[in-house]
Structure 1
Amino acid sequence: MAVPVIDFSKLDGDKRAATMTEIARACEEWGFFELTNHGISSKLLEGVKKVCSDCYRVEREEGFKDSKAVHLLNELIDGGDSRARIDDVDWEDVFLLQDDNQWPSNPPEFKETMREYRSELKKLAEKLLEIMEENLGLERGYIKRTFAGGDEDGCRLPFFGTKVSHYPPCPRPDLVAGLRAHTDAGGVILLFQDDRVGGLQVLKDGRWLDVQPLAGAIVVNTGDQIEVVSNGRYKSAWHRVLASRDGNRRSVASFYNPALEATIQPATPAASAAPAVYPKFVFGDYMAAYAKQKFSAKEPRFRALLGNM
């Protein structure tokens, strides 16, 4: 059993219907799939790999050696307790890129490369949302408008952020997670993962399966808000990253999420009379709960929002 790999270029041509079905099935049965031939140039992707790796080496690597994760692991190893694990930190160096925060200045080409990449990824995310809308029987643009809080004037936009992560070599990967198991809080997530160092896994039918590194592919997963909008037809999948002794895993994840003010609820396609099985809530309230319970089951977060509106 392997994570579905979908050739995005087949949407243009006589394979469109079959490709739409592939994407629908991946969203329904996996919550994860890999896209090839997605339209983002290999030259740009190679540039992203280079500037992110150079940025880690120049600006981040020394700081990680003094991180909480490293200190806790060293204390555990020095204490000699082989039965213990570190359960409250991740073996991850991470920073966020968004339109209004400070970006790294090294290497010099980092900003230009990542601006171009984020622009391309945002367009790809919106194409995927249109495909999901069509497969779900929703009006074109429904999810984007919902994520913008129904703002017709364009003054408020969905949130688009990019998380740049590195998972350095770990001396005891049995004692700490690269990234603890969780579902993603937001909408649709597009990941450009390392094509040499693995470690990403998705939970499928009670088994943890590798999301295999595939050169040039973009990994897509659906977040909690797509689960709500689809009324449970699409599920957000549990996933994690394993720490590793070998290699420095690079991960560039872009999140197309609702604005904090957006009201999220199950959509009601014209062809469906199914009752809503998720509450109606403001995304900012959901994020407040998620910040405290990211690594716990998602269902209590939904239940806690019942009656908030």
Structure 2
Amino acid sequence: MTIPVIDFSKLDGEERAKTMAQIADGCEEWGFFQLVNHGVPVELLERVKRICSECYKLEREEGFNSSTPVKLLNDLVQVQSSEKLENVDWEDVFTLTDEDSEWPCKHPEFKETMTEYRHELKKLAEKVMEVMDENLGLPRGYIKKTFNGGEGLENQALFGTKVSHYPPCPHPEMVNGLRAHTDAGGVVLLFQDDKVKGLQILKNGEWIDVQPLPNSIVINTGDQIEVLSNGRYKSVWHRVQATPDSNRRSIATFYNPSLKATIAPAPELMDPVIKEAEKAYPKFVFGDYMSIYAKQKFLPKDPRFQAVGAM
């Protein structure tokens, strides 16, 4: 079983209706799908891969080797424990946002390349959200407008890029690459390693590999898309497995609501007969949800919705 692979270029041709249906199925039945021919230049993707890998090797590998996960794993091995480290991740990570005054990598090509990459990914994210609007029967631009929350910089959607590496782990059975979770925000666009596996999603109680596919962009929906769609598009549990002999690269770009944005099921998707107290999802401010998510990221998501609804 593999997640859907969709040719995004066919959205503008004779196979538009079929492609729209494929994306709808990816959102409703999987929560994850891969886009090929998505419009992001291959030359740029190759540059991103090279520069992020060089950044890790030259500037971050030494720091990871003396990090807390490495120390904790070494301690367990030294005492010959059979336990598993459940509260840490075998991951080196940093995040880029539009507000960054300093870039976390000194590589001479890093800032220019990642600025260009993020520009392309933002265009792709907004096009994907417009497809979701259409498939859900919502006005064009509904998700984007909701995420942007109003006028002014403080109300702009949060657009960030998380650059991760999962270095080789001598005891991958004893630690998670990244613990199982759903994503808090809106739409995630993942440029994952095209050779090293590790990402898995939970479907029908079974963990399924998200297969590496050169130059594809993996799309997944977060908790806020689940709320806006009134549950038609579920955020999906996923995790990263540690591996013994490879350094897996992962570049996840997220388009999230402004912290001040009000999130609720779209009125067009609500049953008017259902009373307020019986609705599956509450109305809330995204910043309030994030304050709960920060403490409960790796716990079941329904209590998060209940908790923010009670605020």
For the criterion TM > 0.5, the same-fold answer is yes
Q: Where do 5+ consecutive residues of structure 1 fail to align?
A: none
Q: Match for 1:257: what amino acid? A: N
* 1:272 to partner: Cα distance: 5.8
Q: Distance in 1 between matches of 2:228 and 2:284?
A: 11
Q: Distance in 2 between matches of 1:42 and 1:220?
A: 18
* 1:76 to partner: Cα distance: 0.3
**Match of residue 60 from structure 1:** 60
Q: Where do 5+ consecutive residues of structure 2 fail to align?
A: none
Aligned to 1:88, the other structure's residue is in SS state strand
**Match of residue 157 from structure 2:** 158
Q: Indicate the RMSD between aligned Cα atoms, in angstroms.
A: 1.3
Quick one: which of 273, 279, 287 aligns to 2:290?
A: 287
C-alpha distance after superposition, 1:183-228 (max 9, x if no partner)? 0000000000000111000000100000000001000000000000
Contact 1:199 1:241 in 2 (8 A): yes
Aligned to 2:267, the other structure's residue is in SS state coil
Q: Distance in 2 between matches of 1:92 and 1:269?
A: 41
Aligned to 2:175, the other structure's residue is in SS state coil
Give me the identity figure in percent: 65
C-alpha distance after superposition, 1:273-299 (max 9, x if no partner)? 474420000000000000000000000
**Match of residue 87 from structure 1:** 86
Aligned to 1:87, the other structure's residue is in SS state strand
* 1:154 to partner: Cα distance: 6.7
Contact 2:221 2:233 in 1 (8 A): yes
**Match of residue 71 from structure 1:** 71
Contact 1:104 1:111 in 2 (8 A): no
Q: Match for 1:172: what amino acid? A: H
Change (3 A) 1:3 1:63: same
Contact 1:33 1:221 in 2 (8 A): yes
* 1:271 to partner: Cα distance: 9.0
Structure with more helix by fraction: 2
Q: Match for 1:299: what amino acid? A: D
Aligned residues: 306
Q: Does 1:301 align with 2:304?
A: yes
**Match of residue 134 from structure 2:** 134
1:257-296 equivalent positions in 2, closer than 5 A: 257-269=256-268, 273=272, 275=274, 276-296=279-299
Q: Distance in 1 between matches of 2:308 and 2:110?
A: 40
Q: Does 1:47 align with 2:47?
A: yes
Q: Match for 1:297: what amino acid? A: P
Contact 1:187 1:226 in 2 (8 A): yes
* 1:107 to partner: Cα distance: 1.5
Q: Distance in 2 between matches of 1:270 and 1:289?
A: 26
* 1:264 to partner: Cα distance: 0.3
**TM-score, length-normalised on structure 1?**
0.96
Contact 1:58 1:106 in 2 (8 A): no
Q: Distance in 2 between matches of 1:16 and 1:96?
A: 35
Q: Distance in 1 between matches of 2:289 and 2:310?
A: 13
Contact 2:94 2:104 in 1 (8 A): no
**Match of residue 212 from structure 1:** 211
Q: Match for 1:16: what amino acid? A: R
C-alpha distance after superposition, 1:65-117 (max 9, x if no partner)? 111100000000001012x0100000000000011222134320000000000
Q: Distance in 2 between matches of 1:225 and 1:205?
A: 22
Q: Distance in 1 between matches of 2:281 and 2:158?
A: 22
Contact 2:133 2:142 in 1 (8 A): yes
Change (3 A) 1:271 1:238: closer
**Match of residue 202 from structure 1:** 201
Q: Distance in 2 between matches of 1:253 and 1:271?
A: 31
**Match of residue 18 from structure 1:** 18
Change (3 A) 1:109 1:79: same
Q: Distance in 2 between matches of 1:43 and 1:238?
A: 32
Deviates more, 1:98-107 or 1:22-31: 98-107
Contact 1:190 1:218 in 2 (8 A): yes
Q: Distance in 2 between matches of 1:166 and 1:274?
A: 48
Q: Match for 2:240: what amino acid? A: V
